[in-house]
Structure 1
């Protein structure tokens, strides 16, 4: 079994359909589970040809969180394989209005699906309109092993090793701002830091299950720092634009075994033996990990609003 991951560059509807129609047609002819994730306009064009044979998913519902998308698609492909079926996915995110860091994380996802889904027998085609910003188009070229040309997938000479591309997505972190609250962590009893974060979060209306998820993620990160890092272990908390940031740092130089970055791949996939940071990424809106000679920092971002 092997994953097929194709980028579809296009300028107009005709170019899009020239690549999408045969891709989806092939899946239906093979009795595969066929899904299409694209904008309302192009969904309408696909419906005219395929009707209800294809399952249509709005991009906002599908692309809600990078780590969760990987987990969901992996589960779909593995479940289909158990029933003797394949999954074929046409997937086009809405790139408009994304912050720069969001664009980077979704492009990283395009690279990592080549590893996370490598053992599946699925097929994915990702359309990219020619008007998209240059970083997005460059990212597409570097993250897809195949490019669709004249309706056919062809080898992509610009494709990069996913580990190389993922490392390119992690520039140095700026320091925490001067107004950040700081608390030393010395004990596995984390009641005080959890209480501090709860009070701080409530100021900005962050509560309920999202606050609970943040506290679970913090507990995992802080416990690991206390168990495996080098003191001092510090917690810093601050607000930034529309999110609450919590950073745990220590003086230890951690060398993650995962080639593609710690916690980016689901447990059980190549090079990802543990649940810890993967679970943290599933719980938080954004997780940044940096380690070097000056120590290790893990920064958790939780939006004030879902």
Structure 2
């Protein structure tokens, strides 16, 4: 992949940030629904920084052999692994569907606590991930409220 990277502060102009992420993803080979899923996931993560976090941070994105990674640094550092685990079981988590959507739109989601804050990593493979039937996703997430038929 190219050396083209993205690094910018989180800004209230979400439309502008979405366009930067879209441009970066397209430049690194994402198209169609895969690209729009990444853009939507980043939008949700940035919105969470404003609604639940430190209201400031940094977006970095890079293309690599496996696809595209976007990292959202929230200087508030309030996002924890427990939040991500709870979003698998209870999509609203007392707030909204943001984390649940992020977990289902991206191929992989990581979280790292640093001295600068929490860093949410959104990873999208260059090729579509295998389709996992909804029933299997529910079982693997431990969601017993919706038994398979």
Q: TM-score, with normalisation over the residues of structure 2? A: 0.70
Deviations for 1:129-157, whole angstroms, at most 9, x for unmatched residues?
xxxxxxxxxxxxxxxxxxxxxxxxxxxxx
Q: Does 1:237 align with 2:61?
A: yes
Aligned length: 125
In the other structure, the counterpart of 2:99 is 277
Deviations 1:17-57 (A, max 9, x none): xxxxxxxxxxxxxxxxxxxxxxxxxxxxxxxxxxxxxxxxx
Bigger radius of gyration: 1
Q: How is 1:48-87 mapped onto 2 (pairs within 5 angstroms)?
A: none
For residue 207 of structure 1, report the CA deviation from its aligned partner: 1.1
- Asked whether 1:261 is paired with 2:93, we answer no
How has the CA–CA distance of structure 1 residues 224 and 279 changed in structure 2, closer, same or farther, with 3 Å as cutoff? Answer: same
Q: Shift of the alpha carbon at 1:179?
A: 7.0
Does residue 37 of structure 2 align to residue 213 of structure 1?
yes
Note the C-alpha offset of 1:294. Answer: 3.2
Contact persistence 1:289–1:297 (CA under 8 A):
yes
In 2, distance between residues paired with 1:255 and 1:209?
A: 27
Q: Which residues of structure 2 form unaligned runs of 5+?
A: 129-149
Correspondent of 2:113 among 282, 291, 294: 291
C-alpha deviation, 1:260, in angstroms:
7.2
SS where residue 264 of structure 1 aligns? helix
Q: What is residue 186 of structure 1 aligned with on the other side? A: 11
- Once the two structures are superposed, residues 55-98 of structure 1 have per-residue CA deviations (whole angstroms, 9 ceiling, x without a partner) of xxxxxxxxxxxxxxxxxxxxxxxxxxxxxxxxxxxxxxxxxxxx
Kindly indicate whether residue 28 of structure 2 is the aligned counterpart of residue 204 of structure 1.
yes
TM-score (norm 1): 0.36
1:293 deviation in Å?
Answer: 4.8
Q: What is the rounded CA distance, in whole Å, between the counterparts of 1:259 and 1:235 in structure 2? A: 20
Where does residue 127 of structure 2 map in the other structure?
Answer: 305
8 Å contact kept, 1:220–1:280:
yes
Distance 1:291 1:199, change over 3 A: same
| Runs of 4+ residues over 6 Å off in structure 1 | none
Structure-2 change in CA distance of 1:200 and 1:256 (3 Å): closer
Q: Which runs of 5+ in 1 are unaligned?
A: 1-177
From the superposition, tell whether residues 291 and 198 of structure 1 become closer, same or farther in structure 2 (CA, over 3 Å).
same
Assess, with a 3 A threshold, how the Cα gap between structure 1 residues 253 and 199 changes in structure 2: closer, same or farther: closer
Residue in 2 that maps onto 1:51: none
**Matched residues in 2 for 1:190 and 1:260: separation?**
23
Cα distance in 2, alignment partners of residues 184 and 259 from structure 1: 24
Aligned partners of 1:282, 1:227: CA distance in 2, in Å?
Answer: 20
By relative contact order (CA 8 Å, sep 6+), the higher-ranking structure is 2
